Amino acid sequence: MPSEIEVEIKIPVDDMSLLRKKISQIDTEDLGVQLQKDVYFDHPCRSFESTDEALRIREIYVSMDEKNPISVELTYKGPKIGSLTKSREETSVEITLHHNLPRLLNQLGFTLVGMVKKNRQKYGYDDVTITLDHVEGLGDFIEFEKIVNTPDVVEKAESDLFRLAKSLGLDSSQAIRLSYLELLLDKF
């Protein structure tokens, strides 16, 4: 099974309504609104902060009331590769009986690091996912994400994403390589 590499650009947004208008003017598919609750854990034998890895449980809701998620994923994210984007290998599994998953991870020695909550509007554009995020405690961001299967195409994917960001009037020098969790932890 080939691994997936998530190539991602994240840029802070000052005017979300203007950006929504610009996105509506290109040929995107509206993929809907979600509430996502991400809970991160640290490894019992090594610091994911030091190794630049992540282990996350993501609950996805279609309503904002956090009742009955439509899906739950357990995701491992490897160290970031490249110097311009937040590109990294990612492996996810969907979990159906998820209520005991945090307890199971604690029993295995994993410790809770933090939680990120975001309201996310998703759009599809060719093979790119564009998301407009409002992150609790951080504010508004846009993310451009493309999944590739081999490291040799990461650079081209990055170039494609930066070109798309520029076409929407965004300044790619504002791109952030830190995850939302890292940004939240840096605030405290």
Which pLDDT value is given to residue 62?
87
Q: Report the pLDDT value the prediction gives residue 1, as an integer from 0 to 100.
A: 45
Band of residue 38 on the pLDDT scale cut at 50, 70, 90:
very high
Q: Give the mean pLDDT of the chain.
A: 92
Region 26-43: mean pLDDT is 94
Q: What is the pLDDT of residue 77?
A: 94
Task: Give residue 66's pLDDT.
Answer: 72
Q: Does the pLDDT value for residue 98 go beyond 80?
A: no
Domain ranges of the chain: 4-187
* 40 carries an active-site annotation: yes
Q: Is residue 9 within 8 Å of 174, Cβ to Cβ?
A: no
- Does domain 4-187 fall under CATH 2.40.320.10? My reply is yes
Rounded to an integer, the average pLDDT of 52-80 is: 89
DSSP string, the chain: ---EEEEEEEEE-S-HHHHHHHHHTS--EEEEEEEEEEEEEE-SSS-HHHHT-EEEEEEEESSTT--S-SEEEEEEEEEEESSSS-EEEEEEEE-SS-TTHHHHHHHTT-EEEEEEEEEEEEEEETTEEEEEEEETTTEEEEEEEEEESSGGGHHHHHHHHHHHHHHTT--GGG-B-S-HHHHHHHH-
**Predicted confidence (pLDDT) at residue 103 exceeds the cutoff of 80:** yes
Residue 67 has pLDDT above 80, yes or no: no
pLDDT (average), residues 118-126: 95
How much is the pLDDT for 2? 54
Q: Give the model's pLDDT for residue 58.
A: 95
- The mean pLDDT of 179-186, rounded to a whole number, is 94
